Structure 1
Amino acid sequence: MPTHRIVLATANPGKIRELRSLLPPNVEVVSAPALGIRLPPETGETFVENALLKARVAAQESGLIALADDSGLEVDALGGRPGVHSARYAGEHADDAQNIARLLRELRDVPLSQRTARFRAVVAIVAPDGREAVVEGTVEGCIAEKPRGRGGFGYDPVFIPCGYDRTFAEMTLEEKNRLSHRAQALQRAVPILLDWLGCTGQAADNDDSS
């Protein structure tokens, strides 16, 4: 069985493991930094623009099919903010606690029924020959009045997915991953990727949910 190599435009080992778990064993996933590729800053105004920006650079410099993602939190009462600025909402070098603190300050007078929000993830797939595809995943929910739980990262301590009374940070990793916006987007990207690689019909032979 021939081995195919693809590049993921991230340095995040968790994202690499997540994608690898969805692919058959003959598809090797390598990170862009491992190939010496410097990823561009996320200067786009949308998740799609940022994902395509990174995937195009990775595909061009590696000569491989590339995947990139961009994701964030959209709060309806804030007109969709923080959106593409989720990671740096409280400033360029802000940490998760500072971002959450700003979010909760801005929602201080908004009742729970009006604190609807969603996590959105976009995955871009770009081939060296110019083919491009974009898929996305979302999970709907609302913003809690104060942080709860110690798991996860980012805005997980204040995000309560619809149908649940716990925040993402109060869930196990397996529970969160079943709902994850990025997992949804990656699952939609995999059939396209396998088709482009000529691996249509193959599935990941991997029972490890980590």
Structure 2
Amino acid sequence: MSRVLLATRNAKKLGELRRILAAEGVQGLEVVGLADVPEFPEAPETGATFEENAVAKARDAVAATGLPAIADDSGLTVDALNGMPGVLSARWAGRHGDDQANLDLVLAQLTDTPDERRGAAFVCAAALVLPGGEETVVRGEWRGRLTRKSRGANGFGYDPIFVPEGETRTSAEMEPAEKDASSHRGRALRALLPALRELAGR
């Protein structure tokens, strides 16, 4: 059994990758998170793109642990805000990880934006870096539109105000398995499957 480190402390992200691997029949990989390895200093996210941040996080994790590492960077890009908050999604309101404040600020910034101009996308870049130096970087996008108020309790971040294309529910009103099937992170992680299958077979 090969261990692969998902460089996150977010239990929901770990669960998502484990579910996707199980659903795709990938065996021989044990997914562990940052809580399962000795602590190491995590560099701040200073990249200008999701891809830069994901690769930097994965490289740091490999260097610190010697394990193959996957890292992702994701966020919300809002058409009416010229693609912002983008890489600043987790700290849009000023303090990192204050989901409610970030969500409230985006809604406030869109107060006067008509419904037909509330298009947005969740974007996720995921990087797999191996101890030998090989790197695979992929990107997943999930298009939709933003509501005027929060709905649902299943997600995190901006999920309660994001309605995916073809849906009437927000992503926070969807079941986890449904969300995995179409979300930006689900798409990015599935794009890593060929490299992960190869890793499982080593």
TM-score, length basis structure 1: 0.87
Deviation string, structure 1 residues 126-148 (Cα, Å, up to 9, x no partner): 11111111011111001112222
Distance 1:65 1:34 in 2: 14
What letter corresponds to residue 137 of structure 1 in structure 2?
Answer: G
Alignment length (residue pairs)? 197
Structure 1 segments unaligned to the other structure (5+ residues): 201-210
Say which SS state the counterpart of residue 91 (structure 1) adopts: coil
Contact kept, 8 Å, 2:28 with 2:200, in 1: the verdict is no
Match of 1:13 among 8, 11, 17: 11
> Is the CA contact 1:37–1:58 (under 8 Å) kept in the aligned structure 2?
no
Structure 1 residues 22 and 156, CA, compared in 2 at 3 Å: closer, same or farther? closer
- The residue aligned with 1:34 is 36
Q: Alpha carbon RMSD of aligned pairs, Å?
A: 1.7
Q: 1:53 aligns with which of 53, 56, 69?
A: 56
**Residue 101 of structure 1, CA deviation:** 1.3
- 2:27 corresponds to: 25
Residue pairs, 1:25-104, within 5 angstroms: 25-38=27-40, 39-93=42-96, 95-104=98-107
After the TM superposition, which of the residue ranges 85-94 and 156-165 deviates more from structure 2?
85-94
TM, length-normalised to structure 2: 0.90
1:4 to 2, 5, 17: 2
Give the conservation status (yes or no) of the 8 Å contact 2:118–2:146: yes
1:150 alignment partner in structure 2: 153
- Note closer, same or farther for the CA distance 1:94–1:129 as it changes in structure 2 (3 Å cut): closer
Greater Cα shift, 29-38 or 136-145? 29-38
Paired amino acid for 2:135: E
Identity %: 48
What are structure 2's unaligned runs of at least 5 residues? none
- Whether the aligned pair in 2 keeps the contact of 1:22 and 1:190 (CA below 8 Å) is no
Counterparts of 1:19 and 1:199 in 2: how far apart (Å)?
18
